[in-house]
Structure formats: C-alpha cells, structure tokens
Structure 1
C-alpha cells in the first residue's frame, strides 16, 4: 500500500517537472523570437533586484549601527551614573538627606526642609513641587548591593499621606533595587520608588518631574522588580 502511494507520488512529481520543463522551453522559444522586447524587461528586473538588494543591505547595516550605538550610549550613561554616584556613596546619611534636598531645590521645589532627626515618621525631606503639590521624601542611604525591604516601604506608606499630607511621596535610595514586595507595594500605593539607577540620572541632571513617572523602572522593569 505504501509502495503504491510512493509510486503515485513519484509519477505526479515527474509530471510536474515535465510540465514546468515544457513551459520553460516554450518561454525560451518565445523569448528567442521576441528578444528585442524581452531584454529591456530582463535588464529592468535585474536592475530592480540589484537596487533592492543594495537597499536591504544598507538598511540592515544601518539598523546594526544604530543598535550598537544605543548599546554604547547605554553603557556610557551607566558608567557616568556610577562615577557621579561615587561621590554620593561617600556621604553620611545626614549629608545624603541634605544632598537630596539640594536636588529638589535645583529642580524648582520650594520651602524645602530637611528633618535630620529621629522620629520624623519617614519625612526626611519635605517641600513643594513647582506646581504646588506637597512632596515628602524618605531617604535610605544603603550600600549598593542591598535592597529596600517591604518593611521599609510599609513604614513610609503608613505615614507619607496620613501623617504628612503628601501629594507626591518619594522613596529614594542609594541601593540598586527594591524587593518584589516593596516595589509592588509602592506601585499599589502610588509611592515613587527611586533606586540607584534613577537616582544616578537625577544626580546627572535629569529633572525630578521627568523621573517621577518612571517609578521603579530603569534598573529593572515595573512588571518584574528585582528580588
């Protein structure tokens, strides 16, 4: 049964090949008899193929160059952030709070006050954005390899708005990430989570109001926070 099927398929294949061969022969005979009409068409088709091939090759080379340039820029930006963060890392926690307050003032915040004392209930820096919204900042001067814990975030969530009336609650840290639970809590409670990468951009000149919408992204993604 299988052998019969194979023979039938082979016959069909041979017939197709023969049919295409006959068609090619007819086309060749016709082309030979009408060469004056055929050759300009062939030249045009070949020229179009060459132009298309060159265009595709140039487009591919351009995309490759753009990809390399983006990767290089991202690497250089990350290196620049780390160089600027080296000075921040040398600050004490009190100096870090003062430095964050200075960044707020640089970006147009007014009435900026540094608590600088224990019992401040998470309001290390308080001020007002240029549009009048009240800004309350929690500063955590942690080593880069550490992560902000859910417990740290819970404390700030519980006081930022209820105790201090924040319109914008900002949790800024020198470490690279927030735990998954901490970042998830921040996103649900509308707390702006500024980890090391975003802080580095702020230090390098990015305006605070352009960083607020990023909220936890940059070093990772908002959907997949670092653990």
Structure 2
C-alpha cells in the first residue's frame, strides 16, 4: 500500500534585523521631510510676495514628479538631495532674475542718485549773485532779499511791482524792526536823484510803517539825494556799499544808526 507524500512547504529564511539599515532609513526619511517642509515654506512665502513665481515653482514640482515617476528604481538619498537642490537653485535663479528686472535701469559705471541735502535739512540757502549788473530789475530785488535772508532777517518778501508805493523788499531785522527796501537797478551813468528819494520818503514811514528805510542801487546817489536821505533818516547803499555788503565786508544796512547814511555808510 503506497503512502502519499505530504507536500513539502518551502522554508523561508527569516531576514536578520539590521539596526544600521533601519537607522539610515529613518534618518534619510527625516532629511527628506525637512527638505520638503523647507520647500513648502519657501513656496508659501513666494506665493504671498510674488504670485507670479508660484507658476514657476509649480512647473518645477511637476517636472520633478514626472521624472521620479519614470524611473521606478529605488532612488538613493544622495540623488534625491541633488534633485531637490537643483530645483531650489532653479527657483532662486528665477526669483533673482525677476528682482533684477524690477530695479531701475542706470548707465554702466554711473552712481545711484543721492538724496539732495535740501530734501533732508529743509530748503537750500539762497544763492547770492556776484554780478548784480547782469540782473533784471526783478532779479535784482530777489538778490537783495537773499542778502537779507543771509544776514538773519525774517519774514522776507519781495513785494515790488505796480502799485508797490516804493517798497520792493520788506522784512523783519534780526532785532525785530520792520525793514523796507527800495531797489534801483541802474547803470553807472544813471544816479539816483533827490526826487526818487523824496517819493520813497513820502511812503516808507507813513504807508509801510518802516522802522528802517533803505535804498539800494547798483549805481550812485546825487548830492541832493544824499542830503535828503540824511535829513529824513533813509539809509543809502550805493554800488561800493552793495559790494561790501554782498562780500560780507560790511554789516546789513539796518545796522546804520538812525539819521541815515550814504556812500556805503
């Protein structure tokens, strides 16, 4: 009588537990998770600041996924880290290119424009003109006003024009007196006469309420004009006196004592 043989079950060899391999697996997994987290965080920041770059990151992610799907063999940790690094470098390069494109263009070798000092410290100081003969009457009035500002006057205004009644520049002297100036932009052969001084003398004190009345000219004064100015207390500043005032060799005409003075005081 034949006894049937029992089928022999194949014996499986139990795999030996490898602590080193297990530790390496978990270590590589942690590295991958950290890299994925950093990439995700960078992607969120980029989307918030530059929505246009989100498309670039999306394309990089899709390309990486497709390349991973095509290759089914096991990818080593070094290869995975290399691919991630390449993707980050590509995204960073694109971001830097976009930032460079947004910067204002400048000529090669040119320096970036600096902020003018007047924008930081206030309005620039008035520019004092050296050649008053080259100015128009209106420009000469402004030049005299600039001299007043330079020497400490406040509330300086150029008021010359039609109906000014002889006042071209008004201001407050450093000690608080009201200053009224008439400007005469004349040539060397055209002196300021007594009639002009009389017209100014009739309005500077009564109409403009001047504490100090001054007539400034690029020419000179006639003898009768000088005599009238001394009588009514008008300060006369002739060409020589104007140059001394301009060059800082003489104080402002409002420092002249009451009673007036001519010929550069």
Range class of TM-score, shorter chain? 0.5 to 0.7
Distance in structure 1 (CA, Å) of the matches to 2:254 and 2:139: 24
Q: Give the one of 210, 220, 223 matched to 1:180.
A: 223
Task: Indicate which of 169, 177, 194 corresponds to 2:237.
Answer: 194
Q: 1:116 to 1:99 in 2, by over 3 A?
A: same
Q: CA separation in 2, counterparts of 1:160 and 1:202?
A: 22
Residue 207 of structure 1 deviates from its aligned partner by 2.2
| Contact in 2 for aligned 1:113/1:127 (Cα 8 Å) | yes
Residue 159 of structure 2: aligned partner: 115
Task: After TM superposition, list the pairs within 5 Å mapping 1:100-179 onto structure 2.
Answer: 100-175=144-219, 177-179=220-222
Q: Which consecutive unaligned segments of at least 5 residues does structure 2 have?
A: 1-127
Specify the SS of the correspondent of 2:256: helix
Q: How many residues align structurally?
A: 135
- Counterpart secondary structure, 1:138: strand
Post-superposition offset of 1:86: 6.5
Judge conservation of contact 2:235–2:253 (CA < 8 Å) in 1. no
Counterpart check, 1:204 vs 2:247: yes
Contact 2:237/2:262, CA 8 A, preserved across alignment: yes
Q: CA deviation at 1:211?
A: 6.1
Please list the CA deviations of residues 70-125 of structure 1 after superposition, one character each: whole Å capped at 9, or x if unmatched. xxxxxxxxxxxxxx986110000000000000000101000000013211001100
String of CA shifts for 1:43-74, please: whole Å, max 9, x gaps: xxxxxxxxxxxxxxxxxxxxxxxxxxxxxxxx
Higher relative contact order (CA 8 A, sep 6+): 1
Give the conservation status (yes or no) of the 8 Å contact 2:214–2:253. Answer: no
Deviates more, 1:189-198 or 1:209-218: 209-218
Distance 1:105 1:85, change over 3 A: closer
Q: Which one has the bigger helix percentage?
A: 1
Q: Distance in 2 between matches of 1:96 and 1:112?
A: 15
In structure 2, relative to structure 1, the CA distance for the partners of 1:217 and 1:87 (3 Å cut) is closer
* Unmatched runs of 5 consecutive residues or more in structure 1: 1-83, 223-227
